[in-house]
Amino acid sequence: MNLERWLGVTAVLAGLLALVLYARLRALQRTVLREQVRQLEQARAQERAQLDALVRQRTVQLTELTHHLQTAREDERSRLARNLHDDLGALLTSAKLDAARIRPRLAGAPPEALERLAHLVEMLNGAIALGRRIIEDLRPSTLNNLGLAATLEILAREFAERSGVEVHCTLAHAPLAAASELVVYRLVQEAVTNISKYAAASHVWFDMAQRGGQVEVLVRDDGVGFDSAMQRGSAYGLVGMRYRVEAVHGTLEVLSAPGQGTVLRVRLPGLSAASYAA
């Protein structure tokens, strides 16, 4: 009887021991599994952090490259504008003066010769006017002489005359760095080109104002618009705009929807009164 009881107790103890060992084993497995999951999540977090850092690095490099290319392009445009003004402009003006000197000597010449001379002077005047327009497109002199607001008003007026679109301007004086002014001018210039090509707009609004320490420039149209969430064939132009704006520490926001027109909003750091005066 004692032997049977002892065997029974032993069996119970063996069962309890097996249960404890099984529980310890399960707990150990859960601990190992949690550690593996933690290590995996840590590895994924490190990988994400590395990828984020790489993306930020590449974005900074791309922005710097965009700024470098933009500066190089503007320098080349300035060089071409100077060459056109100094060389071609001087040549055409000299030719026009020579034609003016010839006219008195043709007093007794046949009418056909006088007509040809008048036609030559007209062509020279047209070439001089064309050269001035090309020079202004390459490097707008009004930007240095009159300021950004007046330059944008001229751009808007010429666009209205050329396209027949009704243009509304609210352009307040807003001091910006020279590089930022040039970026704004090029951006508005490209926006006008895009409106002419794609928008089919009846009205366009140009606004510029200083709000706090920032300057906000807005170009809005009532054209066909587009789905800004979808990639378009002309999207690379918007990408280029964005990088040019970011290169001067600004931001570009594009809002559009089919049938709702398009809004381009640029925010740039403004200059303080002291910095602008200096």
Task: Name beta bridge partners: 254.
Answer: 264
**Angle (nearest 5°) at CA 145 between 144 and 147:** 70
User: Could you report the per-residue pLDDT of 136-184, keeping only the tens digit for each?
Assistant: 777 788 888 899 999 999 999 999 999 999 999 999 999 999 889 989 9
User: Could you report the per-residue pLDDT of 202-242, keeping only the tens digit for each?
Assistant: 999 999 999 888 999 999 999 998 887 765 555 557 777 88
Is the CATH code 1.20.140.10 the one for domain 142-278? no
- pLDDT at residue 273, as a whole number: 43
Please tell me the total number of residues recorded for the chain in this structure: 278
* Strand-by-strand arrangement of the 214-221 sheet: 166-171, 203-211, 214-221, 262-269, 251-256
Give the predicted TM-score (pTM) of the model: 0.65
Nearest Cα neighbor of 184 from 225, 214, 161 is 214
Please check whether residue 262 is in contact with residue 255, taking contact to mean a CB–CB distance below 8 angstroms: yes
Average the pLDDT over 78-93 and give the result. 80
Sequence ranges of the domains in the chain: 1-139, 142-278
Q: Assign 89 a pLDDT band (cuts: 50, 70, 90).
A: confident
What residue type is assigned to position 245 of the chain? V
